[in-house]
C-alpha cells in the first residue's frame, strides 16, 4: 500500500468511528427522556464486565466504543436529561456539546496564545461576553478552570496575593510562613468547597471567622465585625439549599472601605445577573473584588467548566503567571496560562463561547427565568398538596419536607426508585428535606408536571 492509500484508510477508519460516536450519542440523548433517570441495579452490576486485566494486545476502536456504549451508557445517571433535579447539575446545550466535540478534535493545549491562537482568542472573547452579561466591572479579568471549587481557589489566590502585597509581603516569593496574618471571614452557610479552597491556600478552617446567618442562610450585615489589616470577606450568591443571596450592597461598601477584599462564591447564583427579572436578588454583587461561578451548572455546558473573575487588572496574573525560557507566553494576545493554576489545559472556553453565542442575551435570561418559574411551580404544587416548603423559593432551589425525617427519607428513596425524576436529600437547619434543584435547559413545564405527579405518588405510598 502506498502512503496516500494508507492515509485514506486511516481517514476512513477515523471518520467512521466518529460518525459511530455521533450516532450513539444522539441515540443516547434521544432516549434519555423516556428511560428511568437513575440507572437500574442490573446496569450498574453489568459494569463488572469491564473489570478485566489490561489487554495485552490492541483492540479495534469500533469495539472499544461499542463496549462503552453497551456497558457504561445504561449505567449513567440521566443528568443530561430533563428530569434530574439533584445537587446543582444542569445538562448540556446542544451547541455546547457539539462545540465540545469539535474542540476535542482540534486537541488544542489552551495554555499559550502564540501556540494555539484560535482557541485563545475565542476564550478571550467569551470572557468579555461573560463580564458583560454578568454585569461585572469592565476592568474584570477572568480564567477558565474546572469548576467553582477551583474558581474560588483561583480568585482567592489573587485575593491572598493582593492583600498581602498591600501589607508589603510577596506571598509568591516568601510564602505564608512569617507573613502578616490575614483575617478571612465567611458566612456560617458557606459551601464546604469554599472552605476547602481556603485551606488549600493555607487558610485553615479553624482560623476562619464565621459570620452569623439568617433563616435563609444569608449573612447578616449587622454581624460584620470591625475590619482592619489584610482581610478577605467571602460572600455567596445562591445558597446550595435555599438559593438565597448574601446582602452584597450592605457588606461590600464597608468591607472595601476598610481595605478588605470581597470575594463572592456564585457557583450558580451569579447567573441571576443575566436576567433583569432576577438581578434584584444579586443587587450589589458587582461591588465585590472577585467572583467564582460554574459554567457546567446553570450555563449548561459539559463537565467540567468553572469561571474565576477578578476586578483589578493584573491581580490574577500576579498570582498565576509563570515564565520560562521555553514558554512563549509574552505578547499582545491574552495568554490563558497567565490566569489559571494549570499550564496545559483543554480549551473549555470554546463550549462557553458556543453556549453564549447560541442563546444570546435573551436566551440566557429565558433559560434562567424559566427554571426559576419551574422551581416556584414545584413549590406551589407540593404546598398545595399539603407538604411543607422550608425555604423562600427565590431562585431555582426548593426544599420540601414530608413530615418526620424518616418519612422524608422514604419519599426521597421512593422517588429515586420510581425513576421518573431524581431528587436528593439534605438537612436544613435541623429539618430533613428533599432538595429540588431546577437548572437544565432541557426541562419543560410538562417535565415538571410529570415529576410533581411522581413525587406526590411516592409521598402517598411512602409518607
Ligand atoms: C455555592 C457553591 N459553591 C461551590 C460549589 C462547588 O462547585 P464545583 O462542584 O463545580 O466545584 C457548589 C456546588 O454545588 C456550590 O453550590
pLDDT tens for residues 80-103? 999 999 999 999 999 999 999 999
Q: Is the beta carbon of 294 within 6 A of some atom in ligand 1?
A: yes
pTM: 0.97
Nearest ligand 1 atom, CA 306? 10
Mean pLDDT of the 372-390 span: 98
Percent of the chain with pLDDT over 90: 94
CA dihedral 383, 386, 390, 396 (to 10 degrees): -30
pLDDT digits (tens, 9 = 90+) for 200-248: 999 999 999 999 999 999 999 999 999 999 999 999 999 999 999 999 9
The length of the chain in residues reads 463
Mean pLDDT calculated for residue range 188-198: 98
Contacts 24+ apart (CB under 8 A), 19-22: 20/62, 20/65, 21/65, 22/101
- CB of 193 closer than 6 angstroms to any ligand 1 atom: yes
149 lines ligand 1 (CB under 6 A): yes
Q: Mean pLDDT across the chain, nearest whole number?
A: 96
Cell numbers found for residue 337: 496560562
Q: How much distance in Å is there from the Cα of 257 to the middle of ligand 1?
A: 29
Distance 298 CA to ligand 1 centre (A): 11
- Percentage of residues of the chain with pLDDT beyond 70: 98
**pLDDT tens digits, one per residue of 400-429:** 999 999 999 999 999 999 999 999 999 999
Tell me which of 156, 294, 296, 303 to substitute to probe ligand 1's pocket, judged by most ligand atoms within 8 Å of the beta carbon: 294
User: Is the CB of 82 within 6 Å of ligand 1?
Assistant: no
- Closest ligand 1 atom to 268 CA: 16
The answer to whether the CB of 283 falls within 8 A of the CB of 314 is: no
Q: Can you tell me whether residue 55 is helix, strand or coil?
A: coil
Rounded to the nearest 5°, which phi and psi values hold at 109?
-90, 105
CA 299 / ligand 1 centre spacing (Å): 14
Averaged pLDDT, 31-52:
97
* Ligand 1 atom nearest to 236, measured from its CA: 1
pLDDT in tens, 23-40: 999 999 999 999 999 999
Three-class SS of residue 398? strand
Residue 414 Cα, ligand 1 centroid: separation in angstroms? 27
Check whether 6 has a pLDDT greater than 70: no
Would you say the CB of residue 191 lies under 6 angstroms from ligand 1?
yes
**How high is the pLDDT of residue 3?**
66
- For 263, half-sphere exposure in the C-beta direction (CA atoms, 13 angstrom radius) is 33
- Three-class SS of residue 234? strand
Distance of CA 150 to the CA centre of its chain: 10
In 10 A of CB 429, how many CB atoms? 15
> Looking at ligand 1, which residue's alpha carbon is closest to its atom 15?
267
Ligand 1 geometric centre to CA of 264 (Å): 12
CA–CA separation, 354 and 357 (whole Å): 5
The alpha carbon dihedral of 251, 247, 238, 357 has a sign of: negative
C-alpha–C-alpha distance, residues 270 and 237, integer Å: 6
Amino acid at each position: 500500500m502506498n502512503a496516500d492509500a494508507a492515509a485514506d484508510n486511516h481517514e476512513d477508519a477515523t471518520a467512521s468511528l466518529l460518525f459511530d460516536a455521533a450516532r450513539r450519542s444522539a441515540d443516547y440523548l434521544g432516549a434519555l427522556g423516556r428511560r428511568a433517570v437513575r440507572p437500574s441495579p442490573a446496569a450498574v452490576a453489568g459494569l463488572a464486565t469491564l473489570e478485566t486485566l489490561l489487554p495485552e494486545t490492541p483492540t479495534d476502536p469500533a469495539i472499544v466504543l461499542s463496549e462503552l456504549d453497551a456497558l457504561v451508557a445504561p449505567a449513567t445517571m440521566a443528568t443530561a436529561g430533563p428530569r434530574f433535579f439533584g445537587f446543582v447539575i444542569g445538562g448540556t446545550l446542544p451547541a455546547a456539546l457539539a462545540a465540545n466535540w469539535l474542540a476535542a478534535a482540534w486537541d488544542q493545549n489552551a495554555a499559550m496564545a502564540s501556540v494555539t491562537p484560535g482557541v485563545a482568542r475565542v476564550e478571550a472573547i467569551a470572557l468579555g461576553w461573560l463580564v458583560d452579561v454578568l454585569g461585572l466591572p469592565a476592568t474584570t479579568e477572568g480564567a477558565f478552570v474546572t469548576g467553582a471549587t477551583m474558581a474560588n481557589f483561583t480568585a482567592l489566590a489573587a485575593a491572598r496575593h493582593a492583600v498581602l502585597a498591600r501589607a508589603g509581603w510577596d506571598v509568591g516569593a516568601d510564602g505564608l510562613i512569617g507573613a502578616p496574618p490575614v483575617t478571612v471571614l465567611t458566612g456560617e452557610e458557606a459551601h464546604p468547597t469554599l472552605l476547602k479552597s481556603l485551606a488549600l491556600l493555607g487558610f485553615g478552617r479553624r482560623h476562619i471567622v464565621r459570620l452569623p446567618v439568617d433563616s435563609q442562610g444569608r449573612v447578616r450585615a449587622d454581624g460584620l465585625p470591625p475590619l482592619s489589616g489584610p482581610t478577605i470577606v467571602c460572600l455567596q450568591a445562591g445558597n446550595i439549599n435555599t438559593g438565597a443571596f448574601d446582602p452584597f450592597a450592605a457588606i461590600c461598601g464597608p468591607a472595601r472601605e476598610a481595605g478588605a477584599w470581597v470575594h463572592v462564591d456564585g457557583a450558580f447564583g451569579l447567573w441571576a445577573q443575566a436576567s433583569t427579572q432576577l438581578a434584584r436578588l444579586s443587587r450589589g454583587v458587582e461591588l465585590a473584588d472577585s467572583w467564582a461561578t460554574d459554567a457546567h451548572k446553570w450555563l449548561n455546558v459539559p463537565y467540567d467548566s468553572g469561571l474565576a473573575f477578578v476586578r483589578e487588572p493584573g491581580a490574577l496574573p500576579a498570582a498565576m503567571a509563570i515564565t520560562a525560557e521555553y514558554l512563549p507566553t509574552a505578547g499582545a494576545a491574552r495568554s490563558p496560562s497567565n490566569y489559571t493554576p494549570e499550564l496545559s489545559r483543554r480549551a473549555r472556553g470554546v463550549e462557553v463561547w458556543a453556549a453564549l453565542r447560541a442563546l444570546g442575551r435573551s436566551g440566557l435570561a429565558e433559560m434562567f427565568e424559566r427554571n426559576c418559574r419551574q422551581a416556584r411551580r414545584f413549590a406551589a404544587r407540593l404546598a398545595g398538596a399539603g407538604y411543607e416548603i422550608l425555604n423562600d423559593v427565590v431562585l431555582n432551589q426548593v426544599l420540601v419536607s414530608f413530615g418526620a425525617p424518616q418519612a422524608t427519607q422514604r419519599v426521597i428513596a421512593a422517588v429515586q426508585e420510581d425513576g421518573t425524576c431524581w431528587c436528593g436529600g439534605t438537612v436544613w437547619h435541623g429539618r430533613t428535606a428533599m432538595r429540588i434543584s431546577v437548572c437544565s435547559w432541557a426541562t419543560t413545564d410538562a417535565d415538571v408536571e410529570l415529576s410533581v405527579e411522581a413525587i406526590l405518588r411516592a409521598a402517598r405510598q411512602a409518607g
